[in-house]
């Protein structure tokens, strides 16, 4: 399992609604391609772009999805 947990703060919920970006905490050794493949296989969606950010021994993956799909995933995971 590549994805460790979903991040949910007020700022990230606004990103889900406005930009269709969902944020997961992942292992530091994981590549962008692995994150993309995991999201596409788990949720049956198309990933547009994956950006990563490493801080304090944690790696965050910002996943850009097609229109409306981020809200669907967030609802399934109980974030919204």
Single pTM value for the model: 0.89
Q: What's the distance, Cα to Cα, between the start and end of the chain in Å?
A: 23
Q: Whose CA is closest to 19, among 80, 73, 63? A: 63
3-77 fold:
Alpha-Beta Plaits (3.30.70)
Question: What confidence score (pLDDT) does residue 11 get?
Answer: 93
pLDDT at 57: 85
In the chain, where the domains are located? 3-77
Using 50, 70 and 90 to split pLDDT, how confident is the model at 80?
confident
């Amino acid at each position: 399992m590549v994805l460790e947990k979903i991040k949910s703060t007020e700022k990230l919920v606004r990103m889900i609604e406005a930009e269709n970006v969902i944020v997961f905490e992942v292992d530091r050794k994981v590549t962008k391609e692995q994150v993309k493949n995991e999201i596409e296989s788990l949720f049956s969606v198309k990933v547009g772009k994956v950006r990563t950010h490493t801080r304090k021994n944690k790696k965050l993956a910002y996943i850009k999805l097609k229109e409306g799909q981020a809200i669907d995933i967030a609802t399934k995971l109980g974030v919204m």
